[in-house]
Amino acid sequence: MRVKGGTRRRYRHRKILRQTKGYWGTRHTLFRRANEAWLKAQWYAYRDRRNRKRDLRRLWITRINAAARTHGLSYSQFVHGLRTAGVELDRKMLADLAVRDVAAFAELAEVARAPLN
């Protein structure tokens, strides 16, 4: 006697088809194509959650570098100066200050410049 799946299979298929609602073509109507598309989408989501952290760090560094250069420092000089001065702000906060509070960033640039001289 063979097992055909029955209600369990229907539940599993319906779950995948519900999650692929809105996909293009047969990727939201046929279970096999929908399952392939869904698995691929989950893999991309997993990968890109890690890539987002990488991309945001690059953006923060670019912003800090641009702001530091307006004060006559390179990014590496700025970060090194802050480290030696004992300022423990992460790149996310530094980038936010560079964009939103230019005066505070200017003070940090002066703090970073002091150990270099």
Q: 26 is in which domain, residue-wise?
A: 7-116
- Using only the alpha carbons of the chain, give its radius of gyration: 26
Domain count, the chain: 1
Residue 2 placed within a domain: no
Question: How do the pLDDT tens digits run along the chain, 117 residues long?
Answer: 788 878 899 999 999 999 999 999 999 999 999 999 999 999 999 999 999 999 999 999 999 999 999 999 999 999 999 999 988 999 999 999 999 999 999 999 999 988 776
Global confidence as pTM: 0.78
Q: Which two tokens stand for residue 48?
A: 């890109």
Residue 45 placed within a domain: yes
> How far is residue 48's CA from residue 40's CA, in Å, rounded to a whole number?
12
Specify the CATH number for the domain of residue 96.
1.10.1900.20
Residue 98 placed within a domain: yes
> How far is residue 117's CA from residue 114's CA, in Å, rounded to a whole number?
6
